[in-house]
Amino acid sequence: MAAARHLRSGLPLLRAHLASSESAAVAQISRGFASQPAKPTGKEIKVPEALYGGTGNYASALFLTAAKANSLDKIESEIKTVVEASKKSPLFSQFIKDLSVPKETRVKAVTEIFADAGFSDVTKNFLAVLADNGRLKYIERIAERFVDLTMAHKGEVKVVVRTVIGGPGASGRVLPPVTGRSWVRVVVFSHCTGEGKACH
């Protein structure tokens, strides 16, 4: 009975010790794809808008890492380059979507390709994490969401303007479409909101 009482009194201490050692282990593992541990700067970097789902989580993680490295613009251009390469090269596109390629091969190939291309460590490590987790096939959507975050960080607003070309005129009669053009023209531009942030 005394032993049971002694054991019960020690359980909270054991739970506290396990929780603290577990959180330290999780913190070490969840350091993610950062090449070096982040140095405390005194000011916390936050994601400008909450994104949900797998692609949102990856885009948010990339944003935080790029912001801590103070290289948002560089990372944005590198990620856009990867997306363009996947659109232009059918072989690369097939490679990133093919999950039958062993994980080790995918990670090694991605690391070597982007190291030779001169990409930053943040981008290389991020792409290696995507390859390791089998998420390279979502790079286009992750890039779109990352760009949305960088625009929100800069105070820019994406505006889509749709106009009809060759549709019904003011008189109600249908105008012929302009040869070689579609019925709808989409113009995308950004505008700084001027909320105390520098416009680029």
pLDDT at residue 81 tops 80: yes
Q: What is the pLDDT of residue 47?
A: 83
Segment 13-31, tens digit of pLDDT? 545 544 554 444 444 444 5
The fraction of the chain above a pLDDT of 70, given in percent, is 60
Secondary structure in 3-state letters for the chain: CHHHHHHHHHHHHHHHHHHHHHHHHHHHHCCCCCCCCCCCCCCCCCCCCCCCHHHHHHHHHHHHHHHHCCCHHHHHHHHHHHHHHHHHCHHHHHHHHCCCCCHHHHHHHHHHHHHHCCCCHHHHHHHHHHHHHCCHHHHHHHHHHHHHHHHHHHCEEEEEEEEECCCECCCCCECCCCCCCCCEEEEEEEEECCCCCCCC
Instruction: Give the pLDDT band (50/70/90) at residue 84.
Output: very high
pTM across the whole model: 0.62
Segment 117-176, tens digit of pLDDT? 899 999 999 999 999 998 999 999 999 999 999 988 888 877 777 766 555 555 555 555
